[in-house]
């Protein structure tokens, strides 16, 4: 289960953002996404100071992180306190393809819930488990759902296929969330999508390509994770 806090101690690419005002004025929320490359570093180190300086300049209300590490977790919590973010969410689960990297959030606004997107039962598909938070924005009619993702890296058909499945599973999760919470129409998907800039167009697949991990098991095409 993700780790979630609501106390005081505690760019990238914006894929999609929809903030609909309904009958009230629109509330502006500044989002950022940051792949920190294997943790934020020890407080006082060059790495830590660089990350802190960048985030101070960006001055986002909500930050989605990629490549956090359990071994660096306390440093990340210290960074939140340094920057004045009272609310944190951290993905703690490790699936068969997840490895050591985790995802997380800093927020200036209360985080109502944090949920990791995991595989459909019997499947082994996701490189890093996406993390969804639902945030209460002061003055907004409805809560704001935000996903941070970190898709499979590298070129080649196998990795393109894995990214496509990961994106599909996140979208399925979002559709299911909206169906279960029909008033929650404000959402965003941010993160490190690892698309190969050498590709001129989107790949299409009619079957699984070769080169996938031996443990890779595709879930039901209609499954919702």
Whole-model pTM? 0.85
Whether 67 maps to a domain, the answer reads yes
CATH number at residue 58: 3.60.10.10
Q: How far apart are CA 118 and CA 92, in angstroms?
A: 12
User: How many domains would you assign to the chain?
Assistant: 1
Residue 78's domain comprises 3-19+30-192
Whether 82 maps to a domain, the answer reads yes
Identify whether the C-beta of residue 175 lies closer than 8 Å to the C-beta of residue 133. no
Q: How far apart are CA 111 and CA 18, in angstroms?
A: 18
Whether 202 maps to a domain, the answer reads no
Whether 211 maps to a domain, the answer reads no
Identify whether the C-beta of residue 221 lies closer than 8 Å to the C-beta of residue 125. no
The three-state secondary structure class of 179 is: helix
Whether 208 maps to a domain, the answer reads no
Whether 114 maps to a domain, the answer reads yes
Predicted confidence pLDDT, tens digits, the chain (225 residues)? 677 665 433 334 333 344 444 455 788 999 999 999 999 999 999 999 999 999 999 999 999 999 999 999 999 999 999 999 999 999 998 888 888 999 999 999 999 999 999 988 889 999 999 999 999 999 999 999 999 999 999 888 999 999 999 999 999 999 999 999 998 889 999 999 998 777 766 778 888 999 999 999 998 765 554
Whether 218 maps to a domain, the answer reads no
Whether 210 maps to a domain, the answer reads no
The three-state secondary structure class of 48 is: helix
Alpha-carbon radius of gyration of the chain? 18
């Amino acid at each position: 289960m993700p780790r979630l806090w609501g106390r005081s101690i505690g760019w990238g690419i914006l894929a999609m953002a929809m903030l609909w005002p309904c009958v009230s004025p629109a509330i502006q929320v500044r989002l950022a996404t940051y792949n920190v490359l294997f943790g934020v570093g020890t407080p006082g180190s060059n790495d830590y100071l660089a990350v802190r300086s960048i985030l101070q300049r960006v001055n986002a209300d909500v930050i989605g992180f990629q490549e956090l590490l359990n071994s660096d977790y306390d440093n990340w919590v210290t960074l939140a306190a340094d920057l004045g973010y009272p609310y944190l969410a951290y993905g703690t689960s490790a699936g068969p393809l997840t490895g050591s990297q985790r995802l997380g959030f800093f927020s200036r606004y209360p985080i109502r819930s944090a949920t990791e997107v995991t595989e459909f039962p019997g499947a082994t598909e996701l490189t890093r488990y996406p993390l969804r938070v639902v945030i209460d924005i002061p003055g907004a009619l409805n809560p704001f759902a935000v996903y941070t993702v970190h898709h499979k890296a590298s070129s080649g058909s196998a990795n393109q296929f894995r990214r496509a499945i990961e994106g599909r599973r996140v979208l399925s999760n979002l559709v299911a969330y909206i169906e279960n919470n029909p008033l929650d129409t404000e959402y965003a998907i941010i993160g490190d999508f690892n698309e190969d800039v050498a590709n001129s167009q989107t790949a299409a697949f009619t079957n699984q390509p070769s080169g996938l991990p031996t443990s890779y098991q595709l879930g039901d095409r209609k499954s919702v994770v």
